[in-house]
Amino acid sequence: MSKATDAVYHVALRGESILTHPRWNKGTAFTEQERKDFGLIGRLPSRINTIDEQCARAWDQLVSQDSDIQKNAFLQSLKEQNWVLYYELLRRNLRELMPIVYTPTEADAIANYSHLFRRPSEGLYLTFTDKDSMEQDFLEVTQGREIDLIVCSDAEAILGIGDQGVGISSAKSVIYTLIGRMNPSKSLAVALDVGTDNEKLLDDPLYVGWPHKRVRGEEYDSFIDKFVELVRKHYPHSLLHFEDFGVGNAQRLLELYRSKHAVFNDDVQGTGAVTLAAVMSATGVTKSRLSEQRYVIFGAGSAGLGIARQLRDAIVKIDGLSHEEATKLFYLIDKHGLIKQSLGPDKIRAQVADFVRKEDEWNGDEVKLYDVVKKVKPTVLVGCSTQGGAFTEEIVREMAKGTERPIILPLSNPSRLVEVDPTKANEWTDGKALLATGSPFPPAKMPNGKDYVIAECNNALIYPGLGLGTVLSRSREMTDTMILAGARRLASLAPALKDPDDALLPDFADSPDVNFEVTVAVAEQAIEEGTAGVDWSKDEVRKRAQEVIWLPEYGTYVYDLQGEK
């Protein structure tokens, strides 16, 4: 592992400029020599603190905040002051602080973005009205920086809370550092502000985004295209991560660009990958094959479709079924009920065409979840519908009648949108259900009194590794086979494989090591299939992956006018 503590950095900033630069600021941890060299003696109180002392102080300040949203705001401002301290504090308390900086609290932070606004998030705002100066604005912010990863969102479908306009979230790029241990200087968060259809925001005089209806159609496409072309021109080797685009754009843009650049849609592909890992783990417990399951996916949007495709493709690849046979194992349900032929084209999105059920199997207009469960007897039920509580007691009990160990994955975020509270699902199935949720939940009690840990089936458990594996191997594309390799590696690390009563997926406390393994698996696969721009042995992949790890440690600074800024 790289030892940043021993690292020596040549830095060209002095005085106020270094103290206000979050990458270089050490606050009270500047050494005596550094205080002399960087003109800081009169700018700092006398005592020199260690990182341990700084973490203890920051922790005390954090826990004195009254609510999670205030804690989130406190951590945001810490990030704006001192990256090392911010990431080190989070690293030391990962399990506890993930829900504060990420799901579910981040949903509230984004929903209240304009009201909590203090200063712009570091990152890039690209607004539709400024499209003509996009390249200039892009270069102004990036300034020739080395960037490996760009996370962008048009915020049309933020988690399950819908259109949030310009609610830029740097949370997704923070995770690349926190869990993927990626150098934060190498990532960039981009807000693509094309307006909003959220009336509450449009009517809010404090809304900080462009107060205009969402631009759609050709104008939208050409705006996005201009941005993607800039990324391709200035950062041809970067990974472009799409987050929380609306259902009409997510899969479409992915298909449009994936052969031209390494693009990744987290909601489609990241969610598909982590859910596949959870199902592989659960079928390990039930000692059955993926191809022996019957799958009901409730909510056929970006996530639902991504999950269905990922599972289907894995069944083909791993269990050897034909594409058609594997597709038949899936029942997709959206707001008009089961997706079946008679719904007609207005109610069926083009992307789900593969999964449309034949009419002769079903009577009636709109077939509801309960009726599907009753007839199909699914072994796997996935929720990505944004409909809190949709898996009612009646539905869960019905499912448990049809299968010994129902695999139930209510994935909608944030917590209040979960399709079923896992404690309830555990109770209604007498502890038989194999459960994982999208947001963190406390353990449920098994009939024998033991805790059943509810795994967090959130794409953050895998996307940093998928992204970093792609970047590390300098792949121009993130292929389905690379994603599958990452998902299989994650599944192989599932606690339930060792102890069937344990969690279906690794804990977030272990996510940095887990993602390291995913990174390695993805890069190995890219090299094996020839997608990579490098040709390394397996040992070398691991060594290189170690070398790029960034740890939140200060190192020693030397003042140097030619140094970094």
Ligand X SMILES: O=C(O)C[C@H](O)C(=O)O
Ligand Y SMILES: NC(=O)c1ccc[n+]([C@@H]2O[C@H](COP(=O)([O-])OP(=O)(O)OC[C@H]3O[C@@H](n4cnc5c(N)ncnc54)[C@H](O)[C@@H]3O)[C@@H](O)[C@H]2O)c1
Q: Given the complex with Mn ion, which of 458 and 475 has the nearer CB atom?
A: 458
Residue nearest to ligand X (CB): 103
- Minimum distance between the CB of residue 427 and ligand X, rounded to whole angstroms? 25
Residues 439-478 that bind ligand Y (CB under 6 A): 457-459
d(CA 100, CA 36): 37
d(CA 274, CA 435): 14
- Minimum distance between the CB of residue 417 and ligand X, rounded to whole angstroms? 9
- Residue 160 in the binding site for ligand Y (CB under 6 A): yes
- Residue 379 in the binding site for ligand X (CB under 6 A): no
- Residue 167 in the binding site for ligand Y (CB under 6 A): no
Known active-site residue 172: yes
Stretch that binds Mn ion, among 69-77, 263-271, 432-440, 447-455 (CB under 5 A): 263-271
Q: Which does 165 bind (CB under 5 to 8 A by kind): ligand X, Mn ion, ligand Y, none?
A: none
- Minimum distance between the CB of residue 245 and ligand Y, rounded to whole angstroms? 8
List 26, 71, 79, 172, catalytic entry: 172
CA diameter of the chain:
82
- Residue 156 in the binding site for Mn ion (CB under 5 A): no
Give me 420's structure tokens. 């079923």
Given 300, 435, 478, 484, the residue binding ligand Y (CB under 6 A): 300
Given 88, 193, 267, 477, the residue binding ligand X (CB under 6 A): 267
| DSSP code per residue over 178-240 | HTT---GGGEEEEEEE-----HHHHT-TT--S--SPPP-HHHHHHHHHHHHHHHHHH-TT-EE
d(CA 280, CA 558): 51
- Residue 301 in the binding site for ligand Y (CB under 6 A): yes
- Minimum distance between the CB of residue 180 and Mn ion, rounded to whole angstroms? 16
Q: Which does 387 bind (CB under 5 to 8 A by kind): ligand X, ligand Y, Mn ion, none?
A: ligand Y
Which residues pair with residue 382 across a beta bridge?
A: 297, 409
Residues 222-251 that bind ligand X (CB under 6 A): 244
Outline where DSSP puts E strands in 93-169: 124-127, 149-153
Given 72, 265, 269, 412, the residue binding ligand Y (CB under 6 A): 412
Q: Which does 457 bind (CB under 5 to 8 A by kind): ligand X, ligand Y, Mn ion, none?
A: ligand Y
How many residues comprise the chain? 565
- Minimum distance between the CB of residue 309 and ligand X, rounded to whole angstroms? 17
Known active-site residue 370: no
Q: Given the complex with Mn ion, which of 13 and 303 has the nearer CB atom?
A: 303
Q: Which does 298 bind (CB under 5 to 8 A by kind): Mn ion, ligand Y, ligand X, none?
A: ligand Y
Stretch that binds Mn ion, among 266-274, 331-339, 478-486, 501-509 (CB under 5 A): 266-274
Given a contact cutoff of 8 angstroms between Cβ atoms, the answer to whether 227 and 131 are in contact is: no
205 CB contacts (<8 Å, ≥6 apart)? none
Q: Which does 384 bind (CB under 5 to 8 A by kind): ligand X, ligand Y, Mn ion, none?
A: ligand Y
- Residue 34 in the binding site for Mn ion (CB under 5 A): no
One-letter amino acid for residue 536 of the chain:
W
Residues 408-427 that bind ligand X (CB under 6 A): 413
One-letter amino acid for residue 418 of the chain:
V
Sign of CA dihedral 308, 311, 314, 316: negative
Q: Which does 445 bind (CB under 5 to 8 A by kind): ligand X, ligand Y, Mn ion, none?
A: none
d(CA 444, CA 427): 8
- Minimum distance between the CB of residue 459 and ligand X, rounded to whole angstroms? 5
Phi, psi of 535 (to 5 degrees): -135, 85
d(CA 251, CA 259): 13
List 86, 87, 102, 113, catalytic entry: 102
Given 267, 371, 419, 477, the residue binding Mn ion (CB under 5 A): 267
Of residues 282, 279, 253, the one with CA closest to residue 266: 253
Given 11, 134, 159, 390, the residue binding ligand X (CB under 6 A): 159
Per residue, the 3-state secondary structure of 450-509, as one string, reads CEECCEECCHHHCHHHHHHHHHHCCCCCCCHHHHHHHHHHHHHCCHHHCCCCCCCCCCHH
- Residue 267 in the binding site for ligand Y (CB under 6 A): yes
Stretch that binds ligand Y, among 51-59, 85-93, 204-212, 412-420 (CB under 6 A): 412-420
Given a contact cutoff of 8 angstroms between Cβ atoms, the answer to whether 51 and 85 are in contact is: yes
Give me 419's structure tokens. 């399709």
Q: Given the complex with ligand Y, which of 107 and 208 has the nearer CB atom?
A: 107
3-state secondary structure of 8: strand
Buried b (16+ CB within 10 A) or exposed e, 506-534: bbbebbbebbbbbbbbbbbbbbeeebbee
Given 249, 459, 519, 525, the residue binding ligand X (CB under 6 A): 459
Given a contact cutoff of 8 angstroms between Cβ atoms, the answer to whether 185 and 149 are in contact is: no
Binding pattern for the stretch 102-131 against Mn ion, x by CB under 5 A and - elsewhere: ------------------------------
- Minimum distance between the CB of residue 462 and ligand Y, rounded to whole angstroms? 9
Buried b (16+ CB within 10 A) or exposed e, 1-36: eeebeeeeeebebeeeebbeebbbbbeebbeeebbe
- Residue 524 in the binding site for ligand Y (CB under 6 A): no
Residues of the shown chain interacting with ligand Y in the complex, contacts defined by CB under 6 A: 157, 159-160, 247, 267, 271, 274, 298-304, 333-335, 384-387, 411-413, 417, 438, 457-459
Name the residues annotated as catalytic: 102, 172
